[in-house]
Amino acid sequence: MSLDRSIAPDFGKIDSIELMEPKVLHLDNGLPVFTINTGEQEVLKVELVFATGASASDKKLVAAATAELLTEGTQKHTAEEIANALDFYGAYFNSHVSHDESSLELFTLNKHLKDTICTMAEVYSQPTFPEHELETFILKGQQDMMVNEQKVSYLAAKAFSGTLFGNEHPYGRTATQSDYAALTQQDLREFHASAFAGQIQHIIVAGKLTDDTIAVLNSAFGQEKRLSNALDPIVIHASQERIVHVQKDDAVQNAIRIGRLLFDRTHPDFVGMQILCTVLGGYFGSRLMANIREDKGYTYGIGAGLVSLKHIGYLSISTEVGTQICKPALDEIYLEIGKLRKELIPTDELELVRNYMLGTILKSVDGPFSLASKWKTYLKHGLGTDDHYQLLHQIRTITPERLRDLANKYLQQEDLIQVTSGKPF
Amino acid sequence: MGKIDFERFELKNGLKVFVHHDTSTPLACLNIMYDVGSRDENAERTGFAHLFEHLMFGGSVNIPSYDSPLQLAGGQNNAFTSTDITNYYITLPAQNLETAFWLESDRMLNLAFTEKSLEVQRSVVIEEFRQRYLNQPYGDAWLLMRPLAFRTHPYNWATIGKEEKHIADATMQDVKAFFNTHYLPKNAVMVVAGNVTTEVVRQLAEKWFEPIVKGEKPVRDLPKEPKQTEPRRLEVERPVPLDAIYVSFHMCGKEDADYQTWDLLSDILSHGDSSRLKQRLVKKDRIFTSVNAFVMGERDPSLFTIAGHVSQDRTVEQAEKAIWQMIEELRTELISELELEKVKNQVEASHEFSEMNLLNRAIGLAYHELLGDANGVNLETEKYRKVTREGLRRVASENLIESNSNTLVYRKQQ
């Protein structure tokens, strides 16, 4: 029997994607611990989540510097001793500061949890922010910034957030050389006291838990007094400018950012816009990729996506193209957006996007660390298992008409901000 | 520590197939690694293995679009090319595994070469060249270092190619010849990992891959790099904000008994915040804003490199002196037992973290099979455990010497 290779084999639809719920336990002081006990490897990730991010400080860079320098010296140990204590066990820290949230992660083999967790508890609660380490941070930050300023993608991203939110707004402001120079030990100590000390909102622990994992966490974090610092939602004062170009005369490519403010993840149009963005530029076969890369060869890559902050979100389309084809590339981007407003998405294309998105979600809940990051996001936005199933339902059932309506409501060209960086065009 | 279990079989046409079960995931990965990289290119036609990887997504003889049917089945895919290998992978719901077999077997069977697809991918790759190598500060470092360090071996050029022109000049004839020579069952290793059974994989492999014509595995006969006997140096001026320095030394290949020793030398210098370069040259002396040591991990004898951005208020000469001081210590002093234990523990932990990822496990098996034995992936950590303090000092003192050094300096334009 000969094989007909032109006929695709049958495939099944992804009918259900279970989202494993974390088990919630409480330490002696009431601190919630979300445990995701799964996976084959003998590893653990412990993440301390704090409800305060960069937007809570009226001085730029303070939050980032505080998080970064947590591990650079405590009352008991120098930065070098701390680094050695972790590296010896092959463990490491990651600190993150976003606009609305901060966190400290510990990655360790589970057999070394006891040896490394005490270092984590110490750096989180008793950092001293030594002068020498702060100075190194400042000098390094300033010089790294000089390198970044040679990149059109960096220049465009900076101008884009300034234009979206306003240059003075906590979400839109970006640091300058002098902001680095203005940092003091006092700033960091104050920020630590108001945002970190005693203010773990919850702990997420993922990996292969052992019998004593919780007891170990309890002795490290369950005895301290818990404080809480609620923050006010933020008011946006977006800039009036819509089209911005940042000049860089020696550029070989121009960077392009197009987008607009939208809404947070709990908005009723959020999932619809996420699907629409996927059609436009959210996967390899998307319309922007098909047109601008695969048909015209203008770029190595182009993408569109929604970014979710705690109280608001935005659309961002980004690419880098040869300087001489910047204008035609922009025209094609607007042409593709226009098509979404005018024409219905064909059912077979929509079917493909539905299945692709479900496949992506299936992958995003596979394995302990993926699940941990999914739940971190869900907890931040106040979402739960119901929202997960609601998302699956909407992906399966949304109609081309509804997507066209959303495009008309949110993707009018005059509402979109356009930032470019590179040569004039 | 975790061991990657697998079963293996070989099809009549010589394609080696490996199956790794993991029932904890609803997914499956299909990974095909071809034993071809930029080292197999003609020196006048570089960047070709990578350009070819792009063309592999342009549709095959019976399937006009590669991506759409896969996305329809909920799958994702990508590929990468290095100096040694070209690797293609698909991740999809395990129930739809056959879609992956259908797609991958058809493009091993024959591509649907079109002029349009070639023309577009030439432009895409040229934009990639610009985005990643030309439009970034220090982006051309390896375009400069490789020809400095390699005079005859094809590691002389980077995977992206020597220059844009080589990519622009690629013809349909080149493309077809490349496919016919390298994209053969005997020149590939396939690993299927995830929620799959060997019976099903065997059945699918026989159905979709076995009819593909066997072909002959190309013979590789690459020129050996002669021993370097004099230090080499290249200084360039660029519109960069900080001076930078790269020092590369010739080292052994991936399969050599000293490979792990070399790799640990780089870890001693720069793995983690406690490492020597971070503590001494970045934090204490502030000579560099960042500095790293690394090996390329290439199969043939390759490079060990120390590279960093020089602080504004320091000179290239001070930076260079500091690097050689660190090297001198490795050459003359035995490192402590504690420091050796630390870097070995780091290797063990990195290995365990990396293997959480199903695709990494599949790639690890495929790569080690190309090296001669898929099970090698399970023996790696043990090889690192055997490295000694004396071995580290020996390798450093024999090789980290001036006559074996290639120094690239970026000076900021005044």
Is A366–B312 a contact, with Cβ atoms under 8 angstroms apart? no
Instruction: Report the candidate in B10, B377, B3 with the shortest Cα–Cα distance to residue B201.
Output: B10
pLDDT tens readout for residues A331-346: 999 999 999 999 999 9
How is domain B232-412 classified at the architecture level of CATH? 2-Layer Sandwich (3.30)
Task: Check CB contact under 8 Å for B62 and A6.
Answer: yes
Q: In chain B, where are the structural domains located?
A: 7-208, 232-412
- Report the candidate in B129, B147, B150 with the shortest Cα–Cα distance to residue B139: B129
Q: How many angstroms separate the CA atoms of A366 and B24, rounded?
A: 9
Q: Which residues contact A161 (CB under 8 A, 6 or more apart)?
A: A171, A172, A174
Residues of B classed as catalytic: 53
Look at residue B263 in the predicted model and tell me its pLDDT.
Answer: 98
Check: CB of residue B29 under 8 Å from CB of residue A369.
Answer: no
Q: Name the band, by pLDDT with cuts 50, 70 and 90, for residue A228.
A: confident
Confidence check: pLDDT of A1 > 70: no
Q: Is B60 helix (H, G, I), strand (E, B) or coil?
A: strand
B24 and A108 in contact by Cβ < 8 A? no
Residues 6+ apart with CB under 8 A from A174: A60, A158, A161, A162, A167
Any CB–CB contact under 8 A between A299 and chain B?
yes
Q: How far is A116 from chain B (nearest CA, A)?
A: 13
Q: Do B123 and A14 touch (CB under 8 A)?
A: no
Find out whether B18 and B191 touch, Cβ atoms under 8 Å.
Answer: yes
Backbone angles phi, psi at B308, to 5 degrees: -160, 165
Residue A16, min C-alpha distance to chain B (Å)? 11
For residue A85, what pLDDT is reported?
95
Cβ atoms of B148 and B408 within 8 Å: the answer is yes
Strand, coil or helix: B99: helix
- Evaluate whether B76 touches B91 at the Cβ level (below 8 Å): yes
Mutate to test the interface with B, among A1, A2, A5 (most CBs of B within 10 A): A5
Q: Chain A residue closest to B341 (CA)?
A: A88
Whole-angstrom Cα distance, residue B383 to residue B364? 15
pLDDT tens-digit profile of A372-391? 999 999 999 999 999 999 99
**Residue B23 · residue A63 · CB < 8 Å:** no
Does the beta carbon of A8 lie under 8 angstroms from any beta carbon of chain B?
A: yes
Which long-range contacts does A75-79 make (Cβ < 8 Å, 24+ apart)?
Answer: A75/A126, A75/A128, A76/A122, A76/A126, A77/A119, A77/A122, A78/A130, A79/A130, A79/A133, A79/B273, A79/B283
Q: Which of A105-109, A308-312, B220-224 has the lowest mean pLDDT?
A: A308-312
Q: Residue B174's closest CA among B190, B187, B185, B161? A: B161
DSSP string, B131-162: IIIISSTTTTHHHHHHHHH-SSSGGGS-TT-S
Which residues of chain B does A43 touch, with a Cβ-Cβ cutoff of 8 Å? 349, 352-353, 356
**Could you tell me which residues are beta bridge partners of residue A200?**
A50
Nearest chain A alpha carbon to B139? A151
Say if residue A232's pLDDT is above 60: no
Measured between beta carbons, the chain B residues lying within 8 angstroms of A147 are 137, 240-242, 309
Write out pLDDT tens, residues A159-197: 999 999 888 888 899 999 999 999 999 999 999 999 999
Asked if residue A167 lies in contact with residue A236, where contact means CB atoms within 8 angstroms, the answer is no
Least CA distance to B211: which residue of chain A? A3
CB contact under 8 A, A143 and B311: yes
Q: Which residue is closest to B103 within chain A, CA to CA?
A: A8
> Using the beta-carbon criterion (under 8 Å), do B74 and A88 form an inter-chain contact?
no
Q: CB B220: neighbour CB atoms within 10 A?
A: 10
CA pair distance A310, B413, nearest whole angstrom = 44
Q: Is residue A83 less than 8 Å (CB to CB) from chain B? A: yes
Which residues neighbour A198 within 8 Å (Cβ) at sequence distance 6 or greater? A125, A224, A225, A226, A227
**How big is the CA angle at B137 (ends B135 and B140), to the nearest 5 degrees?**
75
Give residue-wise pLDDT tens across range A394-423.
999 999 999 999 999 999 999 999 999 999
Closest partner residue to A90 (CB to CB) among B68, B132, B346 is B346
Reading chain B (414 residues) residue by residue, the pLDDT tens digits are: 578 999 999 999 999 999 999 998 999 999 999 999 999 999 999 999 999 999 998 889 999 999 999 999 999 999 999 999 999 999 999 999 999 999 999 999 988 888 988 999 999 999 999 988 988 899 999 999 999 999 999 999 999 999 999 999 999 998 899 999 999 999 999 999 999 999 999 999 999 999 999 999 999 999 999 999 999 999 999 999 999 999 999 999 999 999 999 999 999 999 999 999 999 999 999 999 999 999 999 999 999 999 999 999 999 999 999 999 999 999 999 999 999 999 999 999 999 999 999 999 999 999 999 999 999 999 999 999 999 999 999 999 999 999 999 999 999 987
Residue type, A69: L
Among A147, A154, A347, A395, the residue to mutate for chain B (most B Cβ within 10 A): A147
Instruction: Give the pLDDT score at A81.
Output: 96
A102-109 vs A253-261, strand pairing mode? unpaired
d(CA B100, CA B208): 10
DSSP letter, residue A54: G
Cβ of B98 within 8 Å of Cβ of A296? The answer is no
Chain A residue with CA closest to B28: the answer is: A363
A138 contact B CB<8A: no
Contact between residue B231 and residue B290 where contact means Cβ atoms under 8 Å apart? no
Cα separation, A45 vs B381, in Å, equals: 22
pLDDT tens readout for residues A235-284? 666 667 899 999 999 999 999 999 999 999 999 999 999 999 999 999 99
Distance of CA A378 to the CA centre of its chain: 13
From B129, B140, B168, select the one nearest A322 (Cα to Cα).
B129
Which domains can be identified in chain A, with CATH numbers? 23-221 (3.30.830.10), 243-422 (3.30.830.10)
For residue A299, what is the DSSP state?
E
Specify which residues A202 forms β-bridges with: A49
In terms of Cα–Cα distance, which of A66, A71, A57 is closest to A122?
A71
Which residues 340-369 of A have a C-beta within 8 angstroms of B? 351-353, 355-356, 358-360, 362-363, 366-369
What does the CA dihedral B300, B306, B308, B314 come to, rounded to 10 degrees? Answer: -150
Distance CA A414, CA A49 (A): 39
Q: What is the pLDDT of residue A176?
A: 93
**8 Å CB contact of A320 and B353:** no
Give me the sign of the Cα torsion angle B70, B76, B82, B87. negative
Contact A297 B127 (CB under 8 A): yes
- Other C-beta atoms within 10 Å of B59: how many? 20
Rounded to 10°, the helix B389-399/B337-354 angle is 90
Tokens of B92: 């999809």
- The answer to whether A208 contacts chain B (CB < 8 Å) is no
- Chain A hits for B65, CB-CB cut-off 8 Å, are 285
Determine whether the interchain pair B71/A359 forms a contact, defined as Cβ–Cβ distance below 8 Å.
yes
Q: Mind listing the pLDDT tens digit for each residue in A194-216?
A: 999 999 999 999 999 999 999 99
Q: What is the CATH number of domain B7-208?
A: 3.30.830.10
pTM of the shown model: 0.93
CB-based contact B261:B304 (threshold 8 Å): no
The per-residue pLDDT for B387 is 98
Is the Cβ pair A295, B120 closer than 8 Å?
A: yes
Q: What residues of B are in contact with residue A251 (Cβ under 8 Å)?
A: 135
CB contact under 8 A, A6 and B63: yes
Please list, residue by residue across B161-189, b when 16 or more beta carbons sit within 10 angstroms of its beta carbon and e when fewer do. Answer: bbebebbeebeeebbeebbeebbbbbbbb
For residue B342, count other CB atoms closer than 10 A to its CB: 24
Q: Is the CB of A398 inside 8 Å of chain B's CB atoms? A: no
Fold agreement (B7-208, B232-412): yes
- Please tell me the predicted confidence (pLDDT) of residue A237: 64
Helix axis angle for B376-385 and B259-270, nearest 10°, is: 60
Chain A residues closer than 8 Å to B338 by CB = 88
Q: Do A109 and B73 touch (CB under 8 A)?
A: no
CB B49 within 8 A of CB B224: no
Tell me how far apart the alpha carbons of residues A397 and A132 are, in angstroms, rounded to a whole number.
58
pLDDT of residue A230: 56
* DSSP states along A61-102: THHHHHHHHTTSBBSS-BHHHHHHHHHTTT-EEEEEE-SS-E
For A170, other C-beta atoms within 10 Å of its C-beta total 19
CA distances from B28 to A109, B102, B341 (A): 26, 15, 36
Burial readout A296-322 (b: 16 or more C-beta within 10 A, e: otherwise): bbbbbbbbbbbebbbbbbbbbbbbbbb
- B6 Ramachandran zone, left/alpha/beta (phi>0; psi -120 to 50): beta
Mutate to test the interface with A, among B25, B78, B274 (most CBs of A within 10 A): B274
The helix (H) or strand (E) run that includes residue A178 is helix A177-181
The confidence score (pLDDT) of residue A40 equals: 84
Q: Dihedral through CA A222, CA A224, CA A225, CA A230, nearest 10?
A: -80
User: Chains A, B: CB contacts under 8 A, how many?
Assistant: 219
Q: Give the model's pLDDT for residue A168.
A: 84
From A1, which residue of chain B is nearest by alpha-carbon distance?
Answer: B207
List chain A residues with CB under 8 Å of B244. none
How far does the CA of residue A358 sit from the closest CA of chain B (Å)? Answer: 6
Q: Which chain B residues are within 8 Å of A108, Cβ to Cβ?
A: 349
How far away is chain B from the Cα of A398, in angstroms, using its nearest Cα? 17
For tokens 């659309």, name the residue: A315
Task: Confirm if B209 and B13 have CB atoms less than 8 A apart.
Answer: yes
Contact B1, B356 (CB under 8 A): no
